Amino acid sequence: MKKFFALAAVAAMFIACGGEKPAPQPQPQPGVGDEVEFEGAISIDGQYADWDAVTENIQVATLPEGECRYSQLKTFKLHADENFIYVYCEFDPTNTLVFVPYFDLDSDATTGNTSKWDGAGYEAKAEGDIWTWTLDADENPVSQEAPKAWDPAFYEYTDEGTIEVCPASLGAVISSTPAPTKDGLYAFEAALVREILDDAYGLEGTFTMGMIQYDMDWMYIGQLPCQSEDARMEGALEEMLTVTLP
C-alpha cells in the first residue's frame, strides 16, 4: 500500500466520525523525497521543472500588469490527477506567514463567502503556515525565520460558523519547503490528497480555487487570480481557477 493511502485511511477514520471527532493525533509527515510515489506528471520533490511539461488539465494565474491590491503572490498553478490536486505558488516571501486556498465547492460565484474576490463565492478554505517566526512572550511575531513545509487544516463555512473538517498533520497535504527560484522569489509545490478532501468536501466534477498569501499580522499581501486596479474599476471579475477532477 502506498504511504499516502495509509495516511488517507487514518484521516478518513477521523473524518468519518463526524461530530464525534477524537482529538487529532500527530501522524508521520511525508517529506520531500519520502516514500510517497507520484505516478502522474508532477512529483512533490522541490524541483519545479515538471510543472513546465504539463500541458493538459493545468490552470495558471499570474499577477497582471499594472497596480494590483496585493502583489507578492506572482504565480499560482493547479493540476489534478486521479489521486491528488497539485498546487504551485511562486511568491515574494517578505513578511509571509500563511497561505490560504479558498474553494468554491459548488462552482457558483453567487453562493458562499464573496468578500475576497470580485465575482467569486467560496464555501471552504485551508490555513497553514509557510514560514516560521520568532515570537515574543505574548506570542506576537518578532522576526521572520525560515520557510517550512505547508501543512494546512481544512475548514468549511456553514450556517453554524466555520467548521474544521480536517486538522493539520493528518496527511491531507504533502508539500515541499519553499525554496528560492529567481529575483528573490520563492516557490513551493504541494499535493492535496483527493481521498481525504473527497471525504471532507464531497468533491466531484469541477470546482474553483483561489489562493491568498497573508503576512504575520494576517493582512493580505498576495492574491491570485486577481485583476489590476484599472481593470477592477472597469468591472472586470476575478474568477477563481477551475479544477477539473479526472
Give the footprint of Ca ion on this chain (CB under 5 A).
104, 106, 108, 111-112, 121
Q: How far is the CB of 159 from Ca ion (least distance, A)?
A: 14
**Number of helices and strands in the chain (H, E):** 4, 15
**Alpha-carbon Rg of the chain, whole angstroms?**
17
Round to whole Å and give the CA distance between 152 and 105. 18
Cβ closer to Ca ion: 5 or 157?
157
Round to whole Å and give the CA distance between 190 and 244. 17
Cβ closer to Ca ion: 112 or 222?
112
Q: How far is the CB of 113 from Ca ion (least distance, A)?
A: 8
Cell matching residue 202: 464531497
Phi, psi dihedrals of residue 185, rounded to the nearest 5°: -85, 155
Cβ closer to Ca ion: 70 or 201?
201
Round to whole Å and give the CA distance between 166 and 161. 15
CB-side exposure of 21: number of CA atoms within 13 Å? 18
Core vs surface per residue 9-27: b (16+ CB within 10 A) or e: ebbbebbeeeeeeeeeeeb
Cβ closer to Ca ion: 105 or 196?
105
Q: Cβ distance 223 to 70 under 8 Å?
A: yes
Q: Cβ distance 240 to 123 under 8 Å?
A: no
Cβ closer to Ca ion: 161 or 184?
161
Using the 8-state DSSP alphabet, how is residue 157 labeled? E
Cβ closer to Ca ion: 88 or 155?
155
